[in-house]
Structure 1
Amino acid sequence: MTMLRYCLILCSTLPFFVTHEAAAQPVTDTVEVTVEGAVKAPGVYPLPAGARLADALIAAMPMPVSYVAGASLLRESARAQQARLKAGLLYDLKVLQQSQNEAASKLASSLSRQLTDLPATGRVVAELEPRLMQTRKSSNPVAMPSDIVRYPARPDTVRVMGALDQACELPHQPTADVTHYLAACPSNRVADKDVVHVIQPDGHVQIIGIALWNRADLQAVAPGGTIYVPIAARLMKDIDPEFNTQFAAFLATQPLPNPRVAP
């Protein structure tokens, strides 16, 4: 990371850190976990310090319609790093906007607008099936102050975004491969033609080969998943070779929508 990039990231995230520190809570004997979405008893659950997260989730009772595979754990402690990541990505896109390649410059402007609207959520990858968490301690973390768990209803679409003329939201097809969605939402001329990044609804990211020479076995995308079509490596190698990987990682921090669910 260049010194200029570092300074700009630090300056742009300073208000976040000041607010974050000002909002810090004193150490207490209890922690509060908020459970939202498709659960029978949404609300704030006070737990003894050291209690496991599943205690709150079992009390909240996820509903049969809840999409556990897309549930999200949002942690305050993860937001700062995500804010830095976002600032770095915005800086890289600002540099790309100055490219002599008109298509690359236009794409950078579009991605910058999309990224600006996405918050640093604090989402971390976690297993959030309560009964499974109870039986597997490694999947049942200690509850932390201000933890938020969201259980969405099951979506029925897959999103395609990135190096496209326009992002797409397409109906999910249970037997469809990644290439099915790409065919319906073609990439533009500055896209990487060899790989895409698949962000599954649980927050895991996979890099999938799509060219003839590296095409992977059939790879399904779960409902609510996102396919990120990366920018060609040749355009990013002098800006940040890790840009596409980092952009996909930031997309993975975005929870699925949390609609109101009738009891």
Structure 2
Amino acid sequence: MTVRSTLLALALALTFHAHASSPIGVETAGHVRNPGAHTLPAGARLSAAALAAAPDAEAYMLGAALLRQRSLLPQTRLKAGLLFDLETIASQEDSPELADAAAQLARELGDLPVTGRESQLLDPRRLEASSAENRPSLEGDRLVYPGRPDTVQVVGAVVQPCRLKHQFTLDAQSYRSACPILPAASRDDLYIIQPDGKVEQLGVALWNRSAPMHLAPGAVIYVPLSATKIRAIAPDVNEDAVRFLATQVLDAPGVSY
């Protein structure tokens, strides 16, 4: 090894060590006792950030959200690609009902922010007990603890988005039936986005019907565009729409984007 390469390796090692030993700045908001900026020691885990936030009794743990700077760029690209595909579908003059549905969906999704949300357990005590979930904190992390909502939303290929009262006895298909769908909507399936950002696809037709699925307060039901109608134009648009919707965050005091 030459003197130059030795010095370069040493410089890189020192830079890495300095970065690894630097304190970590995070921010907490929503229903917490300690909102605002916090400085954590190098190597701190997410449980340390959650404990620093000190969520109060109003915090809805299932909807708690971790927002990370590293996810902003890929989510910005996801949104741009999604809107491009929807606008492409909206330009199809030979299918006006599909075009109108795509244009409406593009407007609604275009108004949503890019958040940087990553799916993550944020209950402080449960994090401490789970080494798999208790990932390292990163510089710039934001932890948001919303209040518990009392509604379920139905969005996508619907006449207009619906916000319905949450009822434990209702399954996903019952909520969808209460919100009129567009002619271009799929009659075969729908997607469920739970408040923790987890997604599941359900069959709702006679030939593929899934078992009834109950939703948590704050869940979102996405009614997809008909797969048959979009297959030759933008076959992934429904999956991309659901991925983007899963990054959204429930309303929380003191939180803006």
TM-score normalised according to structure 1 size: 0.87
Identify the residue that residue 65 of structure 1 maps to in structure 2.
Answer: 58
Alignment partners' CA distance in 2, 1:119 and 1:42: 22
**C-alpha displacement at 1:240, in angstroms?**
2.2
Q: Deviations over 1:39-91 (max 9, x none)?
A: 11112110122110111211221111210000000000011111111111111
Q: Does 1:135 align with 2:135?
A: no
Amino acid in the other structure paired with 1:189: P
Q: Does 1:124 align with 2:118?
A: yes
Which of 226, 248, 256 is 2:250 aligned to? 256
SS at match of 1:137: coil
**C-alpha displacement at 1:247, in angstroms?**
0.6
Matches within 5 A, 1:70-89: 70-89=63-82
Q: Does 1:193 align with 2:187?
A: yes
**C-alpha displacement at 1:260, in angstroms?**
5.7
Q: Any unmatched runs of 5+ in structure 2?
A: 1-17
SS at match of 1:179: helix
SS at match of 1:51: coil
Q: Deviations over 1:147-176 (max 9, x none)?
A: 001000000000001111111010000121
Alignment partners' CA distance in 1, 2:205 and 2:83: 29
Amino acid in the other structure paired with 1:136: S
Q: Deviations over 1:205-258 (max 9, x none)?
A: 000111112111110111001000000012221222111111101000001111
Q: Does 1:91 align with 2:84?
A: yes
Which of 179, 186, 206 is 2:173 aligned to? 179
Q: Deviations over 1:77-130 (max 9, x none)?
A: 011111111111111011111112111111111111111111221100001111
Amino acid in the other structure paired with 2:59: S
Q: Is the 8 A contact 1:75 1:124 kept in 2?
A: yes
User: After TM superposition, which residue ranges in structure 1, 4 or more long, deviate above 3 angstroms?
Assistant: none
Amino acid in the other structure paired with 2:56: M
Larger radius of gyration between Structure 1 and Structure 2? 2
Q: Any unmatched runs of 5+ in structure 1?
A: 1-25
Q: Is the 8 A contact 1:38 1:260 kept in 2?
A: no
Q: Deviations over 1:156-206 (max 9, x none)?
A: 000001111111010000121011111110211111111100000000000
Matches within 5 A, 1:1-263: 27=19, 29-99=22-92, 100-259=94-253
Q: Aligned pair count?
A: 236
Alignment partners' CA distance in 1, 2:59 and 2:253: 11
Cα 1:164–1:213 change in 2 (3 A) is same
TM-score normalised according to structure 2 size: 0.88
Alignment partners' CA distance in 1, 2:35 and 2:129: 23
Alignment partners' CA distance in 1, 2:71 and 2:236: 20
**C-alpha displacement at 1:259, in angstroms?**
2.8
State, as a whole percentage, how many aligned pairs show the same letter.
43
Q: Is the 8 A contact 1:152 1:257 kept in 2?
A: yes
Alignment partners' CA distance in 1, 2:121 and 2:254: 23
Q: Is the 8 A contact 2:89 2:234 kept in 1?
A: no
Identify the residue that residue 23 of structure 1 maps to in structure 2.
Answer: none
